[in-house]
Structure 1
Protein backbone atom coordinates (compact mmCIF):
# COMPACT_ATOMS: atom_id res chain seq x y z
CA UNK A 1 0.00 0.00 0.00
CA UNK A 2 1.50 3.35 -0.98
CA UNK A 3 2.14 6.14 1.51
CA UNK A 4 -0.84 8.27 0.57
CA UNK A 5 -3.49 5.59 1.01
CA UNK A 6 -1.86 4.34 4.21
CA UNK A 7 -2.44 7.79 5.74
CA UNK A 8 -6.20 7.38 5.25
CA UNK A 9 -6.70 3.62 5.55
CA UNK A 10 -7.53 1.96 8.89
CA UNK A 11 -5.87 -1.21 7.55
CA UNK A 12 -8.21 -3.34 9.65
CA UNK A 13 -8.33 -5.82 6.77
CA UNK A 14 -4.78 -6.88 7.67
CA UNK A 15 -5.52 -7.84 11.28
CA UNK A 16 -6.36 -11.49 10.62
CA UNK A 17 -3.85 -11.77 7.78
CA UNK A 18 -1.02 -11.23 10.25
CA UNK A 19 -1.99 -14.33 12.26
CA UNK A 20 -0.55 -17.79 11.80
CA UNK A 21 -2.85 -20.34 10.21
CA UNK A 22 -3.57 -22.16 13.53
CA UNK A 23 -4.37 -18.84 15.25
CA UNK A 24 -6.54 -17.75 12.33
CA UNK A 25 -8.51 -21.00 12.53
CA UNK A 26 -8.96 -20.44 16.25
CA UNK A 27 -10.45 -17.00 15.58
CA UNK A 28 -12.67 -18.33 12.81
CA UNK A 29 -14.02 -21.06 15.09
CA UNK A 30 -15.68 -18.26 17.11
CA UNK A 31 -17.43 -16.77 14.06
CA UNK A 32 -21.22 -16.54 14.05
CA UNK A 33 -22.73 -15.55 10.65
CA UNK A 34 -25.02 -12.52 10.57
CA UNK A 35 -26.71 -10.64 7.72
CA UNK A 36 -27.91 -7.06 7.51
CA UNK A 37 -30.06 -5.24 4.97
CA UNK A 38 -29.28 -1.81 3.60
CA UNK A 39 -29.93 0.77 6.31
CA UNK A 40 -29.61 -1.72 9.18
CA UNK A 41 -27.23 -0.68 11.92
CA UNK A 42 -24.55 -3.05 13.18
CA UNK A 43 -24.25 -0.85 16.25
CA UNK A 44 -25.39 2.61 17.26
CA UNK A 45 -24.11 5.61 19.19
CA UNK A 46 -24.42 5.19 22.97
CA UNK A 47 -25.17 1.47 22.55
CA UNK A 48 -23.45 -1.16 24.70
CA UNK A 49 -20.85 -3.21 22.77
CA UNK A 50 -21.53 -6.94 22.69
CA UNK A 51 -18.85 -8.07 20.23
CA UNK A 52 -17.04 -7.32 16.99
CA UNK A 53 -17.81 -7.76 13.30
CA UNK A 54 -15.83 -9.14 10.38
CA UNK A 55 -17.24 -8.02 7.02
CA UNK A 56 -17.40 -10.87 4.50
CA UNK A 57 -19.48 -9.13 1.83
CA UNK A 58 -20.61 -5.56 1.20
CA UNK A 59 -19.78 -2.15 2.66
CA UNK A 60 -20.76 -0.24 5.80
CA UNK A 61 -20.28 3.34 6.97
CA UNK A 62 -19.09 4.51 10.36
CA UNK A 63 -20.55 7.87 11.30
CA UNK A 64 -21.64 10.23 14.06
CA UNK A 65 -24.63 12.54 14.23
CA UNK A 66 -23.57 16.17 14.37
CA UNK A 67 -25.65 19.34 13.96
CA UNK A 68 -29.33 18.50 13.74
CA UNK A 69 -29.77 15.21 11.91
CA UNK A 70 -26.68 15.60 9.77
CA UNK A 71 -24.09 12.83 9.70
CA UNK A 72 -20.32 13.03 9.60
CA UNK A 73 -19.00 9.84 8.05
CA UNK A 74 -15.57 8.81 9.33
CA UNK A 75 -14.90 5.68 7.33
CA UNK A 76 -16.21 3.20 4.78
CA UNK A 77 -15.53 -0.45 5.69
CA UNK A 78 -15.54 -3.24 3.13
CA UNK A 79 -15.03 -6.98 2.81
CA UNK A 80 -12.19 -8.23 5.01
CA UNK A 81 -12.40 -5.43 7.60
CA UNK A 82 -12.67 -6.07 11.32
CA UNK A 83 -14.56 -3.43 13.31
CA UNK A 84 -16.28 -2.61 16.57
CA UNK A 85 -13.43 -3.38 18.96
CA UNK A 86 -12.64 0.18 20.16
CA UNK A 87 -15.60 0.61 22.51
CA UNK A 88 -15.35 -3.01 23.60
CA UNK A 89 -11.70 -2.74 24.64
CA UNK A 90 -12.19 0.62 26.36
CA UNK A 91 -15.25 -0.79 28.19
CA UNK A 92 -17.33 2.20 27.07
CA UNK A 93 -20.49 2.72 25.05
CA UNK A 94 -20.20 3.23 21.31
CA UNK A 95 -19.22 6.79 20.39
CA UNK A 96 -20.56 6.42 16.84
CA UNK A 97 -22.83 4.29 14.67
CA UNK A 98 -22.21 1.77 11.90
CA UNK A 99 -24.77 1.20 9.13
CA UNK A 100 -24.95 -1.14 6.14
CA UNK A 101 -24.73 0.67 2.79
CA UNK A 102 -26.13 -2.41 1.03
CA UNK A 103 -27.14 -5.94 1.94
CA UNK A 104 -24.11 -7.36 3.73
CA UNK A 105 -22.89 -10.53 5.39
CA UNK A 106 -20.67 -10.52 8.46
CA UNK A 107 -19.15 -12.83 11.01
CA UNK A 108 -19.77 -11.86 14.63
CA UNK A 109 -17.49 -12.64 17.58
CA UNK A 110 -19.06 -12.15 21.00
CA UNK A 111 -17.37 -9.93 23.57
CA UNK A 112 -16.43 -12.86 25.84
CA UNK A 113 -14.96 -14.87 22.98
CA UNK A 114 -13.03 -11.89 21.62
CA UNK A 115 -11.55 -11.03 25.01
CA UNK A 116 -10.50 -14.64 25.44
CA UNK A 117 -8.91 -14.66 21.98
CA UNK A 118 -7.00 -11.48 22.86
CA UNK A 119 -5.57 -13.19 25.95
CA UNK A 120 -4.71 -16.52 24.31
CA UNK A 121 -3.36 -15.19 20.98
CA UNK A 122 -0.59 -12.66 21.71
CA UNK A 123 -0.16 -11.82 18.01
CA UNK A 124 -3.85 -10.82 17.76
CA UNK A 125 -3.57 -8.58 20.81
CA UNK A 126 -0.42 -6.95 19.44
CA UNK A 127 -2.00 -6.43 16.00
CA UNK A 128 -5.14 -4.83 17.46
CA UNK A 129 -3.15 -2.45 19.69
CA UNK A 130 -0.89 -1.50 16.77
CA UNK A 131 -3.87 -0.92 14.52
CA UNK A 132 -5.68 1.27 17.05
CA UNK A 133 -2.61 3.51 17.21
CA UNK A 134 -2.53 3.69 13.40
CA UNK A 135 -6.25 4.53 13.24
CA UNK A 136 -5.67 7.51 15.53
CA UNK A 137 -3.26 8.88 12.93
CA UNK A 138 -5.77 8.25 10.14
CA UNK A 139 -8.44 10.22 12.00
CA UNK A 140 -5.97 13.06 12.63
CA UNK A 141 -5.13 13.20 8.90
CA UNK A 142 -8.82 13.18 8.00
CA UNK A 143 -9.64 15.99 10.43
CA UNK A 144 -6.77 18.07 9.02
CA UNK A 145 -8.11 17.67 5.48
CA UNK A 146 -11.67 18.56 6.49
CA UNK A 147 -10.47 21.63 8.40
CA UNK A 148 -7.87 23.00 5.99
CA UNK A 149 -8.96 22.22 2.45
CA UNK A 150 -11.68 23.70 0.28
CA UNK A 151 -14.42 21.46 -1.07
CA UNK A 152 -12.96 20.68 -4.51
CA UNK A 153 -9.58 19.48 -3.17
CA UNK A 154 -11.39 17.51 -0.43
CA UNK A 155 -13.61 15.79 -2.98
CA UNK A 156 -10.68 15.00 -5.27
CA UNK A 157 -8.67 13.51 -2.40
CA UNK A 158 -11.53 11.41 -1.05
CA UNK A 159 -12.33 10.13 -4.54
CA UNK A 160 -8.75 8.85 -4.73
CA UNK A 161 -9.06 7.25 -1.29
CA UNK A 162 -12.44 5.68 -2.06
CA UNK A 163 -11.20 4.44 -5.42
CA UNK A 164 -8.48 2.58 -3.56
CA UNK A 165 -10.98 1.24 -1.02
CA UNK A 166 -13.25 -0.04 -3.79
CA UNK A 167 -10.30 -1.60 -5.67
CA UNK A 168 -10.93 0.63 -8.72
CA UNK A 169 -14.23 -1.21 -9.36
CA UNK A 170 -16.28 1.98 -9.13
CA UNK A 171 -17.23 4.05 -6.08
CA UNK A 172 -20.71 2.98 -5.01
CA UNK A 173 -21.77 5.73 -2.66
CA UNK A 174 -24.83 7.97 -2.65
CA UNK A 175 -24.39 11.70 -3.16
CA UNK A 176 -25.65 12.26 0.38
CA UNK A 177 -23.14 9.84 1.89
CA UNK A 178 -20.34 11.32 -0.22
CA UNK A 179 -21.24 14.82 0.98
CA UNK A 180 -21.37 13.58 4.60
CA UNK A 181 -17.92 12.06 4.15
CA UNK A 182 -16.23 15.23 2.86
CA UNK A 183 -18.23 17.70 4.99
CA UNK A 184 -20.15 19.52 2.24
CA UNK A 185 -23.73 19.92 1.05
CA UNK A 186 -25.25 17.42 -1.35
CA UNK A 187 -25.96 20.16 -3.89
CA UNK A 188 -22.39 21.48 -3.96
CA UNK A 189 -20.95 17.96 -4.25
CA UNK A 190 -23.32 17.29 -7.14
CA UNK A 191 -22.14 20.43 -8.95
CA UNK A 192 -18.48 19.56 -8.46
CA UNK A 193 -19.01 15.99 -9.64
CA UNK A 194 -20.67 17.36 -12.77
CA UNK A 195 -17.66 19.62 -13.37
CA UNK A 196 -15.33 16.64 -12.94
CA UNK A 197 -17.47 14.63 -15.37
CA UNK A 198 -17.64 17.41 -17.96
CA UNK A 199 -13.84 17.85 -17.74
CA UNK A 200 -13.27 14.13 -18.32
CA UNK A 201 -11.93 13.35 -14.84
CA UNK A 202 -14.63 10.83 -13.94
CA UNK A 203 -17.41 8.74 -15.47
CA UNK A 204 -20.67 7.79 -13.78
CA UNK A 205 -22.14 4.43 -14.78
CA UNK A 206 -24.75 2.30 -12.98
CA UNK A 207 -24.71 4.76 -10.06
CA UNK A 208 -20.96 4.22 -9.61
CA UNK A 209 -18.17 6.78 -9.96
CA UNK A 210 -15.16 5.68 -12.01
CA UNK A 211 -11.93 7.69 -12.02
CA UNK A 212 -10.82 8.26 -15.62
CA UNK A 213 -7.96 10.78 -15.47
CA UNK A 214 -5.95 10.19 -12.30
CA UNK A 215 -3.38 12.88 -13.07
CA UNK A 216 -6.04 15.59 -13.36
CA UNK A 217 -7.75 14.41 -10.17
CA UNK A 218 -4.42 14.50 -8.35
CA UNK A 219 -3.82 18.04 -9.62
CA UNK A 220 -7.13 19.10 -7.99
CA UNK A 221 -5.94 18.13 -4.54
CA UNK A 222 -3.65 21.19 -4.10
CA UNK A 223 -1.06 19.83 -1.84
CA UNK A 224 0.11 20.56 1.56
CA UNK A 225 -0.30 16.78 1.65
CA UNK A 226 2.19 16.50 -1.23
CA UNK A 227 -0.06 14.30 -3.31
CA UNK A 228 1.59 13.93 -6.68
CA UNK A 229 2.24 11.12 -9.13
CA UNK A 230 5.46 10.14 -7.36
CA UNK A 231 3.69 9.78 -4.01
CA UNK A 232 0.67 8.00 -5.49
CA UNK A 233 2.91 5.42 -7.16
CA UNK A 234 5.39 5.00 -4.30
Structure 2
Protein backbone atom coordinates (compact mmCIF):
# COMPACT_ATOMS: atom_id res chain seq x y z
CA UNK A 1 0.00 0.00 0.00
CA UNK A 2 1.23 3.48 -0.88
CA UNK A 3 1.38 6.11 1.85
CA UNK A 4 1.23 8.96 -0.65
CA UNK A 5 -1.15 11.58 0.70
CA UNK A 6 -1.15 9.93 4.14
CA UNK A 7 2.35 10.69 5.36
CA UNK A 8 5.04 13.22 4.23
CA UNK A 9 7.83 10.70 3.69
CA UNK A 10 9.99 13.33 1.97
CA UNK A 11 10.46 15.04 5.37
CA UNK A 12 12.22 11.92 6.69
CA UNK A 13 14.10 10.51 3.70
CA UNK A 14 17.32 11.94 2.22
CA UNK A 15 16.47 10.65 -1.27
CA UNK A 16 20.08 10.88 -2.42
CA UNK A 17 19.29 8.36 -5.17
CA UNK A 18 17.92 11.33 -7.12
CA UNK A 19 21.42 12.82 -7.45
CA UNK A 20 22.48 10.51 -10.28
CA UNK A 21 19.04 9.78 -11.72
CA UNK A 22 18.83 10.46 -15.46
CA UNK A 23 22.15 12.29 -15.67
CA UNK A 24 23.44 12.53 -19.27
CA UNK A 25 25.27 9.36 -20.28
CA UNK A 26 28.50 11.24 -20.89
CA UNK A 27 28.45 12.64 -17.34
CA UNK A 28 27.68 9.25 -15.80
CA UNK A 29 30.53 7.73 -17.83
CA UNK A 30 32.91 10.42 -16.62
CA UNK A 31 31.94 9.87 -12.99
CA UNK A 32 32.07 6.09 -13.19
CA UNK A 33 35.12 5.69 -15.44
CA UNK A 34 37.38 4.34 -12.67
CA UNK A 35 34.79 2.90 -10.31
CA UNK A 36 35.35 -0.46 -8.68
CA UNK A 37 32.54 -2.71 -7.44
CA UNK A 38 32.84 -4.91 -4.38
CA UNK A 39 30.59 -7.36 -2.55
CA UNK A 40 29.95 -6.59 1.11
CA UNK A 41 28.62 -9.21 3.52
CA UNK A 42 25.97 -8.22 6.06
CA UNK A 43 27.55 -6.18 8.84
CA UNK A 44 30.68 -5.25 6.88
CA UNK A 45 31.95 -1.71 7.51
CA UNK A 46 32.13 0.61 4.49
CA UNK A 47 34.02 3.41 6.25
CA UNK A 48 34.71 4.44 9.83
CA UNK A 49 34.36 7.73 11.63
CA UNK A 50 37.65 9.64 11.65
CA UNK A 51 39.15 7.93 8.61
CA UNK A 52 40.29 9.78 5.51
CA UNK A 53 37.77 9.94 2.63
CA UNK A 54 39.47 8.85 -0.58
CA UNK A 55 36.23 8.65 -2.55
CA UNK A 56 32.48 8.20 -2.44
CA UNK A 57 30.34 5.05 -2.40
CA UNK A 58 27.38 4.18 -4.62
CA UNK A 59 24.98 1.54 -3.32
CA UNK A 60 24.45 -0.65 -6.39
CA UNK A 61 22.24 -3.07 -4.46
CA UNK A 62 21.38 -3.63 -0.83
CA UNK A 63 20.97 -1.34 2.17
CA UNK A 64 23.36 0.37 4.56
CA UNK A 65 23.29 2.34 7.79
CA UNK A 66 25.08 5.54 8.73
CA UNK A 67 25.81 5.71 12.43
CA UNK A 68 27.76 7.32 15.27
CA UNK A 69 29.47 5.42 18.09
CA UNK A 70 29.31 6.86 21.60
CA UNK A 71 31.97 6.69 24.31
CA UNK A 72 30.52 3.44 25.62
CA UNK A 73 30.67 1.80 22.19
CA UNK A 74 26.93 2.06 21.56
CA UNK A 75 25.59 2.88 18.10
CA UNK A 76 23.15 5.59 17.12
CA UNK A 77 21.90 5.07 13.58
CA UNK A 78 21.50 8.37 11.76
CA UNK A 79 20.12 7.14 8.48
CA UNK A 80 19.30 4.03 6.46
CA UNK A 81 20.45 4.21 2.82
CA UNK A 82 18.80 2.24 0.03
CA UNK A 83 19.88 0.97 -3.39
CA UNK A 84 20.88 3.86 -5.65
CA UNK A 85 22.03 6.19 -2.90
CA UNK A 86 25.43 7.78 -2.38
CA UNK A 87 27.50 7.61 0.80
CA UNK A 88 30.55 9.53 1.93
CA UNK A 89 30.23 12.61 -0.25
CA UNK A 90 29.70 15.02 2.67
CA UNK A 91 33.27 14.56 3.89
CA UNK A 92 34.67 14.99 0.38
CA UNK A 93 32.85 18.30 0.03
CA UNK A 94 33.88 19.57 3.48
CA UNK A 95 37.49 18.41 3.15
CA UNK A 96 37.29 16.66 6.51
CA UNK A 97 37.61 13.09 7.73
CA UNK A 98 34.44 11.04 8.01
CA UNK A 99 32.22 12.36 10.81
CA UNK A 100 30.26 9.10 11.00
CA UNK A 101 30.56 5.44 10.06
CA UNK A 102 28.70 3.29 7.54
CA UNK A 103 28.06 -0.45 7.37
CA UNK A 104 25.80 -2.70 5.30
CA UNK A 105 22.58 -4.03 6.78
CA UNK A 106 22.46 -6.95 4.35
CA UNK A 107 24.62 -8.48 1.63
CA UNK A 108 25.25 -5.59 -0.75
CA UNK A 109 27.16 -4.52 -3.84
CA UNK A 110 28.86 -1.14 -3.56
CA UNK A 111 30.79 0.86 -6.16
CA UNK A 112 33.71 3.00 -5.03
CA UNK A 113 34.26 6.23 -7.00
CA UNK A 114 37.65 7.95 -6.48
CA UNK A 115 37.60 11.41 -4.93
CA UNK A 116 39.24 13.11 -7.93
CA UNK A 117 36.65 11.71 -10.35
CA UNK A 118 33.79 12.87 -8.14
CA UNK A 119 35.19 16.40 -7.75
CA UNK A 120 35.98 16.66 -11.46
CA UNK A 121 32.46 15.57 -12.39
CA UNK A 122 31.03 18.03 -9.92
CA UNK A 123 33.08 20.84 -11.44
CA UNK A 124 31.99 20.11 -15.01
CA UNK A 125 28.36 19.08 -14.49
CA UNK A 126 25.90 21.85 -13.73
CA UNK A 127 23.13 19.28 -13.26
CA UNK A 128 25.13 17.24 -10.76
CA UNK A 129 26.20 20.27 -8.73
CA UNK A 130 22.66 21.65 -8.57
CA UNK A 131 21.21 18.30 -7.51
CA UNK A 132 23.86 17.90 -4.85
CA UNK A 133 23.12 21.35 -3.41
CA UNK A 134 19.40 20.60 -3.40
CA UNK A 135 20.00 17.26 -1.69
CA UNK A 136 22.22 18.79 0.98
CA UNK A 137 19.57 21.42 1.73
CA UNK A 138 16.92 18.72 1.95
CA UNK A 139 19.06 16.61 4.25
CA UNK A 140 19.40 19.53 6.64
CA UNK A 141 15.59 19.68 6.90
CA UNK A 142 15.39 15.92 7.47
CA UNK A 143 17.97 16.07 10.27
CA UNK A 144 16.17 19.04 11.86
CA UNK A 145 12.94 17.01 11.88
CA UNK A 146 14.79 14.07 13.44
CA UNK A 147 16.26 16.21 16.21
CA UNK A 148 12.81 17.55 17.04
CA UNK A 149 11.40 14.03 17.08
CA UNK A 150 14.04 12.72 19.50
CA UNK A 151 13.64 15.72 21.79
CA UNK A 152 9.85 15.77 22.04
CA UNK A 153 8.31 12.43 21.04
CA UNK A 154 7.71 9.41 23.29
CA UNK A 155 9.41 6.17 22.25
CA UNK A 156 6.17 4.58 20.97
CA UNK A 157 5.66 7.42 18.48
CA UNK A 158 9.32 7.37 17.43
CA UNK A 159 9.18 3.64 16.76
CA UNK A 160 6.00 3.98 14.72
CA UNK A 161 7.50 6.79 12.67
CA UNK A 162 10.74 4.93 11.99
CA UNK A 163 8.82 1.80 10.96
CA UNK A 164 6.96 3.92 8.41
CA UNK A 165 10.21 5.33 7.04
CA UNK A 166 12.07 1.99 7.00
CA UNK A 167 9.06 0.30 5.39
CA UNK A 168 9.52 2.63 2.42
CA UNK A 169 13.16 1.52 2.19
CA UNK A 170 12.15 -2.12 1.93
CA UNK A 171 9.27 -1.70 -0.53
CA UNK A 172 9.39 -3.50 -3.84
CA UNK A 173 9.14 -0.93 -6.61
CA UNK A 174 7.91 -3.60 -8.99
CA UNK A 175 4.80 -4.49 -6.95
CA UNK A 176 3.33 -1.72 -4.81
CA UNK A 177 0.65 -4.04 -3.38
CA UNK A 178 3.07 -6.72 -2.13
CA UNK A 179 3.56 -7.12 1.62
CA UNK A 180 6.67 -5.27 2.79
CA UNK A 181 9.09 -7.27 4.92
CA UNK A 182 11.42 -5.15 7.05
CA UNK A 183 14.48 -7.34 7.60
CA UNK A 184 16.26 -5.44 10.37
CA UNK A 185 17.64 -6.64 13.67
CA UNK A 186 16.02 -5.43 16.88
CA UNK A 187 19.36 -3.93 17.90
CA UNK A 188 19.55 -1.83 14.72
CA UNK A 189 15.92 -0.80 15.05
CA UNK A 190 16.51 0.25 18.68
CA UNK A 191 19.58 2.22 17.57
CA UNK A 192 17.53 3.94 14.88
CA UNK A 193 14.77 4.85 17.33
CA UNK A 194 17.17 5.86 20.10
CA UNK A 195 16.01 3.51 22.83
CA UNK A 196 16.86 0.18 24.46
CA UNK A 197 16.35 -3.09 22.61
CA UNK A 198 13.94 -4.25 25.33
CA UNK A 199 11.66 -1.28 24.63
CA UNK A 200 11.53 -2.09 20.92
CA UNK A 201 10.73 -5.76 21.57
CA UNK A 202 7.95 -4.83 24.00
CA UNK A 203 6.38 -2.25 21.70
CA UNK A 204 6.54 -4.53 18.69
CA UNK A 205 4.58 -7.06 20.74
CA UNK A 206 2.03 -4.34 21.53
CA UNK A 207 1.74 -3.45 17.84
CA UNK A 208 1.20 -7.15 17.06
CA UNK A 209 -1.60 -7.36 19.63
CA UNK A 210 -3.21 -4.28 18.06
CA UNK A 211 -3.10 -5.89 14.60
CA UNK A 212 -0.71 -3.27 13.20
CA UNK A 213 2.03 -5.70 12.24
CA UNK A 214 3.24 -9.26 12.43
CA UNK A 215 6.70 -10.75 12.81
CA UNK A 216 8.45 -13.73 11.24
CA UNK A 217 11.72 -14.18 13.07
CA UNK A 218 13.51 -10.86 12.73
CA UNK A 219 11.28 -9.79 9.83
CA UNK A 220 8.56 -7.21 10.50
CA UNK A 221 5.53 -7.00 8.22
CA UNK A 222 3.35 -3.90 8.58
CA UNK A 223 -0.27 -4.91 8.04
CA UNK A 224 -2.02 -1.63 8.91
CA UNK A 225 0.14 1.31 7.83
CA UNK A 226 -2.74 3.77 8.35
CA UNK A 227 -2.93 2.77 12.01
CA UNK A 228 0.86 3.06 12.27
CA UNK A 229 0.66 6.60 10.91
CA UNK A 230 -1.94 7.39 13.55
CA UNK A 231 0.34 6.07 16.29
CA UNK A 232 3.24 8.13 14.94
CA UNK A 233 1.08 11.19 15.57
CA UNK A 234 2.93 13.27 12.99
CA UNK A 235 1.52 16.77 12.57
Contact map agreement 2:27 2:121 (CA 8 A) in 1: no
The structural deviation recorded for 1:96 is 0.5
Aligned to 1:229: none
Q: Distance in 1 between matches of 2:76 and 2:217?
A: 25
Matched, 1:215 2:226: yes
**1:44-67 C-alpha deviation (Å, 9 max, x unpaired):** 010000100110111111000124
Secondary structure in structure 1 of the residue aligned to 2:13: coil
Contact map agreement 1:157 1:218 (CA 8 A) in 2: yes
Secondary structure in structure 1 of the residue aligned to 2:8: helix
Structure 2: gaps (5+ residues): 172-178
- Give 1:101-180 correspondences, 5 Å limit: 101-167=105-171, 169-180=180-191
The structural deviation recorded for 1:25 is 3.2
Structure 1 segments of 4+ aligned residues over 4 angstroms from their partners: none
The structural deviation recorded for 1:136 is 1.0
| C-alpha RMSD over aligned residues | 1.5
Q: Distance in 2 between matches of 1:203 and 1:22?
A: 47
Contact map agreement 1:73 1:180 (CA 8 A) in 2: yes
Secondary structure in structure 2 of the residue aligned to 1:171: strand
- Give 1:1-234 correspondences, 5 Å limit: 4-167=8-171, 169-222=180-233, 225-226=234-235
**Higher mean displacement: 45-54 or 167-176:** 167-176
Contact map agreement 1:18 1:127 (CA 8 A) in 2: no
The structural deviation recorded for 1:184 is 0.6
